Structure 1
Amino acid sequence: MQEAERRIDGYRFLDGASKRVMKAWAAREPEVEIPWTPLDKPLSEARVALVSSAALSLREDQPFDREGERQNPWWGDPSYRVLPREATREDVRVDHLHINPQPASEDLDCIFPLRRLDELVKAEVVGSSAPRHYSIMGYILDTGELLEETAPKIAEGLVQDEVDVALLVPV
């Protein structure tokens, strides 16, 4: 028996005007071929890195630009932050105004599952956790700088760390 296709309405919690604006904005994006690459080794031998859209930064690092986001709620900081494999909830802050930081202050794994990844490594489901993981600010409607500058820099770091799998953690 074939499983029914399931669709998720990502706009259902928006008011009517915001829903129309967001759908129109999304329609502006050109359709592009995604260069998915098949994994060339078993996952149990692969190095995995996390990439979260929760705008996480280490407490001692420069935070994401919350003031710019406050002044223009349609804008998002297109930069990125590097988080070490050893980062804990005490080391990390959430700089994103579009999400509630309270759950992450209690359990960082709900938006950046480093401890869950460690468990998969210990269980030999995953080969290893990368030494560096990444966070960007989600809700970036104008993706120009994100795609042209930020993403290539993150990709360069992933290559340097010999990462086989980037696990995207959308928030």
Structure 2
Amino acid sequence: MTHGRVGETGYWEERMSHVRYIDRTRDYYLGEGYATPYRWAHFDDVPFTRLPRPLAECRLGLVTTSEMVIRGRESELEHVENDPTRPGYSLPMATPTTDLYSRKASYDKHATTLDDVDAYLPLTHLHRLVDERRIAGLAPRFQVVHSQYSQRRTLTVDAPRIFAELHEDRVDAAVLTAV
């Protein structure tokens, strides 16, 4: 059955394809000769909770693995590139997307590009939602965490840092994005 209008069941399902990154990562590891495929993190008890109030009354944060940089200010992040532990960092949420770019090197170049910043870092869309009063506000900064495959590092370094910054910014909910 074909559906022709937005909002009807099946409309987007018929028009979208998904990047199967989990399958591709598994296949990559097997192709590289690893005895077992990469094991994705799995938690029986997921630390998600209900929103404390309606979304229109919530302040949102944004966390991304897209390795964003502000044009002309790249030198401010040199310590991040030269540090083997590669800590995450924060950038101002009010930064115009025209001033941002991703220096991400590892992404599926056959499935996407980095040309449209709002496609993987929806700052313009989030600000519009504030203007439309669909959300109460945004945190003053967004967090950038590097893609890496250490579940231990994610749990013991990245997650606590991000949580602390989101808490400091009085965020009710966070949007997580990746390239």
Q: TM-score range by the shorter chain?
A: 0.7 to 0.9
2:29 maps to 18
DSSP 3-state at the match of 2:66 = coil
Please report the TM-score for the alignment, with normalisation by the length of structure 1.
Answer: 0.73
Task: Please give the root-mean-square deviation of Cα atoms over the aligned residues, in Å.
Answer: 3.3
Please say if residues 27 and 37 of structure 2, whose CA atoms lie closer than 8 Å, have aligned partners that are also in contact: no
Shift of 1:51: 0.7
Cα-to-partner distance string for 1:33-83 (whole Å, 9 max, x where unaligned): 211111010100100011111121334231553997xxxxxxxx6521211
1:71 maps to none
Q: Percent identity?
A: 22
2:162 maps to 154
Map 1:44-63 → 2, pairs under 5 A: 44-59=56-71, 60=73, 61-63=76-78
Please report the TM-score for the alignment, with normalisation by the length of structure 2.
Answer: 0.70
Shift of 1:23: 6.4
Task: Give unmatched runs, 5+ long, in structure 1.
Answer: 69-76
Query: Is residue 136 of structure 1 aligned with residue 152 of structure 2?
Result: no
Q: How far, CA to CA, are the matches of 1:166 and 1:147 in structure 2?
A: 17
Relative distance call for 1:14 and 1:143 in structure 2 (3 A) is: closer
Cα-to-partner distance string for 1:80-125 (whole Å, 9 max, x where unaligned): 121111112343231221135x943x43111111110011111111
Larger radius of gyration: 2
2:117 maps to 108
Relative distance call for 1:13 and 1:110 in structure 2 (3 A) is: same
Residue type of the partner of 1:65?
E
1:74 maps to none
Please say if residues 66 and 97 of structure 1, whose CA atoms lie closer than 8 Å, have aligned partners that are also in contact: no
DSSP 3-state at the match of 1:168 = strand
Task: Give unmatched runs, 5+ long, in structure 2.
Answer: 1-8
* Shift >6 Å, 4+ stretches: none
DSSP 3-state at the match of 1:25 = coil
Please say if residues 103 and 110 of structure 1, whose CA atoms lie closer than 8 Å, have aligned partners that are also in contact: no
